[in-house]
């Protein structure tokens, strides 16, 4: 790790760059109290929905229960889920309609698809899946609603509909993560790479084998849709300490793989994601960006989303960006950074010292396995960078010696 980060004092770290930081008494300011932060829906394994063909140790059970609870995929009248049953294009369109509310990016022609009559059971879902950019049609104005969906097609559909783009070369991403990358159809490669970087892809039983040409099963559909909801911050990511999480691609990538797929440093990775525009701007304002970008670092960053910063008391962001308050900004930002790259599975209950000199408290709920940092929930984990790792949190962490509510 870079020697610049070995000091136990934030002041010493920043003095190395000519940045003097005082170790003054607690900082306080007068700002009106804010509303409570919005918390993503937590879907736990305590679901009342059970199926006779889904055993307690079934690999996709957490995904299935969560998706069924949200009424995105239904079970069958006989009490089964039929996890290995292939999904047809019409069925997948209905799943997409129930899962997402994306803006329309194109318009289906007035006559619609020739093979989808107006009274067809999935007609509205098919139209929406097409117009929101998730699913394409076929030549001759066909949709082929009864055709099975390939796994790669489902992954590409999610990437396209959610507007995902890769931040590294497509070939590097695919070859770094999948042993069968060469058989991914060329026209879907960019979309699959983008979905991979966004942690949407789930592979069972071998996380490195995509099986792109295999039919999408109902179990795999549940897994992909759940991970897409995680990316949207609408549900919690699976806890890193349960077996199912190991099938999420990128959850436990090795170092050589990370170098292939994520060549960028932690600051560049945050800058490439629209969810971290405020964090990136503040790092630059504080003069911390250049420090965190050092290639010899090994860091873990708990990264608040733009929404988390927006939920700070009114006027806080403007106050922190004033030159005279730069010291406080530095102390808050370094409170989100800990030494050493730590995967989600490496986080355990207890205190971890930050570069602000004050520790954060890690807690793991014994029932839901939800990991929290102080009171902030980790809503997405293991975003890889060349010199560290990023865990996304839904609240801004405030050091105990800083009070933003009173003078």
What is the per-residue pLDDT across 9-25, written as a single tens digit (0 to 9) for each?
444 544 433 343 444 44
Amino acid 297: pLDDT: 86
Tokens 């369109």 sit on residue? 93
Assigned domain for 30 exists: no
Dist CA 351 CA 276 (whole Å): 25
Residues in the chain, overall count? 407
Plot region of 340 (φ>0 → left; ψ -120 to 50 → alpha; else → beta) = left
Question: Can you give the residue range of the structural domain that contains 283?
Answer: 266-393
**Mean pLDDT calculated for residue range 281-307:** 91
Amino acid 361: pLDDT: 96
Identify whether the C-beta of residue 336 lies closer than 8 Å to the C-beta of residue 402. no
Judgement on whether residues 233 and 356 belong to the same structural domain of the protein: no
- The token duo for 171 is 């070939």
Residue 384 banded pLDDT, cuts 50, 70, 90:
confident
Tell me the pLDDT tens digit for each residue of 161-179: 999 998 889 999 999 899 9
Judgement on whether residues 206 and 322 belong to the same structural domain of the protein: no
Judgement on whether residues 338 and 228 belong to the same structural domain of the protein: no
- Residue 352 sits in a domain whose CATH number is 2.30.180.10
**Mean pLDDT calculated for residue range 144-155:** 97
Judgement on whether residues 181 and 325 belong to the same structural domain of the protein: no
Residue 272 banded pLDDT, cuts 50, 70, 90:
confident
Dist CA 63 CA 69 (whole Å): 10
Assigned domain for 96 exists: no
Q: How far is C-alpha 94 from the chain's CA centre?
A: 24
Percent share of the chain, pLDDT over 90 = 66
pLDDT tops 60 at residue 336: yes
Assigned domain for 111 exists: no
User: What pTM does this model have?
Assistant: 0.57
pLDDT tops 90 at residue 263: no
Looking at 196, 216, 247, the residue that finishes a domain is 247
């Amino acid at each position: 790790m870079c020697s610049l980060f070995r000091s136990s004092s934030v002041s010493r770290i920043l003095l190395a760059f000519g940045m003097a930081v005082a170790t003054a008494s607690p900082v306080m300011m007068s700002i009106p109290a804010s509303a409570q932060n919005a918390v993503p829906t937590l879907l736990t394994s305590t679901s009342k929905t059970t199926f006779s063909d889904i055993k307690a140790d079934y690999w996709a059970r957490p995904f299935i229960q969560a998706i069924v609870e949200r009424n995105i995929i239904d079970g069958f009248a006989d009490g089964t889920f039929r996890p290995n049953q292939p999904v047809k294009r019409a069925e997948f369109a209905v799943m997409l309609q129930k899962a997402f509310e994306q803006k329309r990016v194109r318009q289906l022609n007035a006559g619609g698809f020739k093979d989808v009559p107006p009274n067809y059971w999935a007609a509205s879902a098919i139209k929406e899946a097409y117009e929101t950019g998730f699913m394409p049609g076929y030549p001759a104005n066909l949709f082929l609603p009864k055709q099975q969906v390939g796994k790669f097609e489902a992954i590409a559909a999610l990437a396209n509909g959610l507007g995902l783009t890769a931040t590294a070369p497509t070939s590097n991403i695919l070859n770094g993560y999948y042993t069968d990358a060469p058989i991914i159809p060329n026209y879907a490669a960019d979309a699959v790479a983008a979905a991979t970087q966004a942690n949407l892809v789930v592979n069972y039983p071998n996380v490195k084998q995509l099986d792109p040409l295999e039919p999408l099963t109902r179990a795999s559909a549940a897994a992909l849709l759940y991970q897409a909801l995680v990316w949207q911050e609408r549900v919690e990511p699976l806890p890193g300490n349960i077996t199912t999480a190991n099938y999420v691609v990128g959850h436990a990538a090795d170092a050589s793989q990370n170098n292939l797929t994520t060549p960028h440093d932690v600051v560049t990775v945050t800058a490439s994601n629209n969810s971290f525009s405020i964090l990136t701007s503040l790092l630059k304002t504080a003069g911390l960006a250049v420090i965190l970008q050092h290639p010899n670092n090994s860091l873990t960053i708990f990264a608040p989303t733009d929404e988390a910063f927006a939920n700070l008391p009114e006027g806080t962001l403007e106050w922190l960006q004033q030159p005279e308050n730069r010291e406080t900004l530095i102390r808050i930002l370094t409170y989100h950074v800990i030494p050493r790259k730590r995967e989600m599975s490496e986080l355990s209950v207890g205190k971890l010292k930050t570069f602000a000199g004050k520790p954060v408290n890690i807690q793991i709920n014994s029932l839901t396995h939800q990991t929290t940092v102080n009171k902030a929930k980790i809503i997405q984990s293991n975003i890889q960078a060349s010199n560290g790792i990023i865990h996304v949190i839904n609240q801004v962490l405030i050091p105990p010696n800083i009070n933003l509510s009173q003078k």
